[in-house]
Amino acid sequence: MKDRPIYRKVEQWEIYDRMAGSSIYADTDKKFLPSERYDWTLLTEIELFRNAVKGCEKVLDIGCGTGHPSLYIAEDVGSIIGIDKSERMIEIAKNRLRKSGGNNVVFEVGDAASLKFSDKSFDAIILCGSLATFSDKTKSLQEIKRVLEDNGKVACIEANWQYQLTHERRFHGEGNFGFTEKGLIRYRYVRRLVHPHKEIDYRCIIDQNSVLGKKLLSDQHFLKRKTLKTEMSIEEVEPYCNDIEYDEQEKIDPETIARLFAENGFKDVVVSGYGVMYDLLNSAGLVNKMAPYMKELSKAEAAISRFLHPLKTEMLFLTCKV
């Protein structure tokens, strides 16, 4: 009988390091398109962060990726340092910075859980979608507290798992066979958990000589389309593959995010929501008509964010102080 495959855990920042250079983490200047729901959300994020840190002298963006939102809000603050654990993300951010010509932004490699800055060196810290990806959230929040001046601010954005639970996600697993660039059969399985809120993403290579491998290689539908959705769980596929790589991400809801900050000694914690503008316009058939006002409408959404109940929005915006 075949030994159980070895499960190898990969940290979130490593996944982002691999993703750097593709899709939204590509080395291109973002053109915001009215047809893209996601772009409306990005514009609102820029406004939310701009409003939160306007006039601050020294801002730290932790988990800055390729520079969103730092590159867009730099003109409203004294200076910004963006750090990320992924070297490749930082390389791209630096490239984008060179092209934008901003002179008050610096990007460098750094770890949220062990900041190299001295105590009380920033008056604001921003986290755009990065908190959920930090392996050690408590240590990272303690570090954030240490490097913030008295009364310093935090602004943080996260996706709302509670919303996704009720509106979007299918909460069993999703499996998919496909081919790697080298022609090997790969299997990807995403498991979504409600308690605790967690997403586990498995990736493995199927042994081509196994029963399953042979079956797939004789399946004309799979060979033609090069992809095959399946109900098979990772446990069912496990006997036909060798090592299995996986990453897991703790997901965040309004209550969890507020508790995380409060438990770590932050005060004046306020959680609000955003991410509704596109849906509103779309349901009224107005997306195209309103395209010229995309920026203004995103500003309006940022302004009304504090009235949007965070349980009912896809995205969460938190502000607090030390």
Ligand X SMILES: C[S@@+](CC[C@H](N)C(=O)[O-])C[C@H]1O[C@@H](n2cnc3c(N)ncnc32)[C@H](O)[C@@H]1O
Interface with ligand X by CB under 6 A: which residues?
Answer: 12-13, 16, 62-65, 68, 83-86, 89, 111-113, 128-130, 133-134
Q: Which is nearer to ligand X, 96 or 191 (CB)?
A: 96
Closer to ligand X by Cβ: residue 48 or 89: 89
DSSP 170: -
Q: CB of residue 247 vs ligand X: minimum separation in angstroms? A: 11
Min separation Cβ 72 and ligand X, Å: 11
**Which is nearer to ligand X, 43 or 62 (by Cβ)?**
62
Q: How far is the CB of 70 from ligand X (least distance, A)?
A: 8
Closest contact distance (angstroms) between CB of 289 and ligand X is 29
Fill in the amino acid letter for 120.
K
What is the C-alpha to C-alpha distance for residues 253 and 256, in angstroms, rounded to an integer? 5
Give the residue with the Cβ less far from ligand X, 134 or 163.
134
- Tell me which residue has its CB nearest to ligand X: 65
**Residue 77: helix, strand or coil by DSSP?**
coil
User: Which long-range contacts (C-beta less than 8 Å, at least 24 apart) are formed by 17-22?
Assistant: 17/85, 17/86, 17/87, 17/88, 17/89, 20/65, 20/66, 20/86, 20/88, 20/89, 20/91, 20/92, 21/88, 21/92
| Smallest gap from residue 88 Cβ to ligand X (A) | 9
Find how far residue 20's CA is from the centre of its chain: 12
Cα(256)–Cα(248) distance, integer angstroms: 17
- Closer Cβ to ligand X, 53 or 112, answer by number: 112
